[in-house]
Each structure stands twice: as C-alpha cells, then as structure tokens.
Structure 1
Amino acid sequence: MTIPDKSPQADTHADLWLTPAEQASWLSVVRLVTRLPWAIDAQLQRDAELSMIEYMAMAMLAEAPEWTLRMSELAERTSSSLSRLSHLVKRLESRGYVRREPDPGDGRFTNAILLPCGMRKLESAAPSHVAYVRHLMVDNLSGERLRRLGQDAERILRRIDSPVR
C-alpha cells in the first residue's frame, strides 16, 4: 500500500497510497481487529462454552426490557445478518438459553427472549470474560487513551454506516 514507484504515471495517484507511517498504523489496526475477536472468542469458548457472538447476543437480550428484542434489532446490535443471527438463536434455543416467539404487537416480527437458564449462563461467564477484556484492553490503556480509542472507534463506525460519497 506504500507508493510503489516514482514514475510520472504513478504520481497521478500518489495521494491514494499510504505513507510508511500510515501503512504501519493501518496494519496494526488490521491485526487488532482480526486478533482481538479471535482472542475473546477463544476465552469464551474455553471458559464458558460460548462463542463471542453467542455471548454478545445473550448480553444484548439481558440489557433489554423483559430480556426481549426483535430479531432484527438483535441482529443490528450484534452487527450480524438476520440469517446468521437466526442460526445462532436456533443453537441457543437448543441449549435452553433463549426462545423465539412472534412479537405480540406485530406478528410479522419475531422476538428473541433470554430465558432464566440463559441469564444464569451469562452471569457465570461474565466474571472471567470481563477479567480478560480488562487484561487485554482496559488495564492496558490509561483512562484518557481508552476514552479516545472509544471515540475514534465511534467516528470510524459512523463513517462505515454513512452513505458513500
């Protein structure tokens, strides 16, 4: 991604290439966004027999009123496709952690509901998960750097979610 050559033709696109410093930063971010979810998923699998996306879905349900969300809302909150989430919720249903039922307010929608067994599973998984997140990230950054990282992540997410110009 660095500028490949100094030919006149390449100069017309020189502003598109990353500088060596930009490339080094970009590659660090790529490694982080690739390896952090893998590390968290491995910890949750090892300690709780849950994948990261299963844990996230159950945590989102636990925070929702009456432990219930429309499947479409849960998909959005977990950054998952509705199809992928449907398969995930089916797995969680088979383990007795959640159930699905038609939305009583609008039967065209399906709700996912966290069951008491799922809440117990989430509560038993949370201490080691939070400790690991704290070890990897929270305790590794000053409060100010952590706050700025969160702000920077939100700024990038807004750009991802905005229409392309």
Structure 2
Amino acid sequence: MTPVPEPRWLTESERDAWYAWRRTFPLVNAGIARDLSQDSGLSEADYDVLSVLGSTDGHRMRISALAELMQWSRSRLSHQLTRMEQRGIVRREEVATDGRGAEVVLTETGVATITDAAPLHVESVRRHLIDLLTPEQLRTLAEVGEVLGARTGARRKA
C-alpha cells in the first residue's frame, strides 16, 4: 500500500492571501456588475461581447474567434448572442467568402449602447478597484493576473 502524502497546508501568509482573494474578488466583481446593470441595463456577458466587438475594425468578428477569445463555449456564446439579437444590439451575418462561417456584428444600437456604457463602466471599475490601489499594487495585480492567466490558458481580452 502506497502511503498518502501529507497535505501541504497553507502557511499563515498563504492563508491570509487565499482568504483575502476569496472574500474580495466576488465582492469587487459584484459591485461592478451591479453598477453595470443599474447604469446601462447590461449584464457582464453583454458588456464583454460589446466591448470586444467595439474594439474591432468594422465592429465585427467571426463567432468562432469571439468564442475562443472570450474562452466561452460556442453554445454559451450562441445563447448570449440570441439574447443580444432580440434586443437589437448585435446581428449575425454569414461570411461572404466562406459559406461555413458566421460573424457577429454590432448594430448601430449596439455601438451606441457600448459608447454610452463604457464611461460609466470604467468609473465603476475605478471606484471598486483601480482607485483603491497604489501604482505598485496595480502592477502586482497585473503580474498576478498574467501568471494565473498563463497557467490557466487565459488570453488577454481586446
């Protein structure tokens, strides 16, 4: 019988870091999501899609590329796009040069929606996170995000 290795219990400083993450991350996220919903009527998922498309040439992207960039399943993205299409902020179009592919495109309403929402959203991000940290803490947070993102395969969003 193979002996079971002893657990690598957290040190006090590791435990403090873990507990701080567990307590703080959901609260910061919830505050920003609440503001987004109240200020713009958008969900986090809506904003994620709109902000990516809003930063692309022509406000369009292949659906498969968008799903990969956002690290969403095609099914999840498809359901999200359906909800957004019903509100008139995106539309799906076939790719003229490729009968198999489809793109998602911001409508005029979608462009106006992200244009109006972005300043309010960035102010919320500042209020709940950015303005609470020193420049050094922000650099550390960015470094931590890069390390964790690389470890989990996350890609930077546009």
TM-score category, normalised to shorter length: 0.7 to 0.9
Shift of 1:76: 2.7
The alignment status of 1:119 with 2:111, answered yes or no, reads: yes
CA distance in 2, matches of 1:28, 1:139: 18
CA distance in 1, matches of 2:99, 2:30: 37
Aligned to 1:70: 62
Q: Secondary structure at the match of 1:24?
A: helix
CA distance in 2, matches of 1:103, 1:35: 41
The runs of at least 4 aligned residues of structure 1 exceeding 6 Å deviation read none
The alignment status of 1:148 with 2:140, answered yes or no, reads: yes
Shift of 1:77: 2.8
1:52-131 mapped onto 2 (5 Å cutoff): 52-131=44-123
- Structure 1 segments unaligned to the other structure (5+ residues): 1-8
Of 10, 13, 37, the match for 2:29 = 37
CA distance in 2, matches of 1:130, 1:97: 20
CA 1:104–1:152 in 2, change beyond 3 Å: closer, same or farther?
same
One-letter code aligned to 1:95: R
Q: Secondary structure at the match of 1:107?
A: strand
Q: Secondary structure at the match of 2:32?
A: helix
Q: Residues 26-63 of structure 1, C-alpha deviation per residue, up to 9 Å, x if partnerless?
A: 12212333233222221111111100110110010010
The alignment status of 1:157 with 2:149, answered yes or no, reads: yes
CA distance in 1, matches of 2:91, 2:52: 14
Structure-1-length-normalised TM-score: 0.83
One-letter code aligned to 2:46: E
Taking CA–CA contacts closer than 8 Å with sequence separation of 6 or more, which of the two structures ends up with the larger relative contact order? Answer: 2
Aligned to 1:48: 40
The CA RMSD over aligned residues, in Å, is 1.9
- Structure 2 segments unaligned to the other structure (5+ residues): none
Q: Secondary structure at the match of 2:98?
A: coil
Q: Percent identity?
A: 34
Q: Residues 61-116 of structure 1, C-alpha deviation per residue, up to 9 Å, x if partnerless?
A: 01011111111222233332221111111111111100001222322222110111
Whether the aligned pair in 2 keeps the contact of 1:53 and 1:78 (CA below 8 Å) is no
CA distance in 2, matches of 1:105, 1:141: 48
